[in-house]
Amino acid sequence: DGELRRTLQSLACGKARVITKIPKGREIEDGDRFQFNNEFTNKLFRIKINQIQMKETTEEQKATEERVYQDRQYQIDAAIVRIMKMRKTLSHNLLISELYKQLTFPVKPADLKKRIESLIDRDYMERDKDNQNQYNYVA
Enumerate the H helices of 14-126 as residue ranges. 58-87, 92-102, 109-121
The residues that bridge with 135 in the sheet, in sequence order, are 90, 127
Identify the CATH class of 58-137.
Answer: mainly alpha
| Domain spans in the chain, listed from the N-terminal domain onward | 1-53, 58-137
Residue 49 has pLDDT above 70, yes or no: no
Structural contact between residues 106 and 67, judged by C-beta atoms closer than 8 angstroms: no
Q: How many whole angstroms separate alpha carbon 27 and alpha carbon 108? A: 51
Secondary structure letter of residue 134 according to DSSP: E
Tens-place pLDDT, residues 53-72:
556 678 888 999 999 999 99
pTM above 0.75, yes or no: no
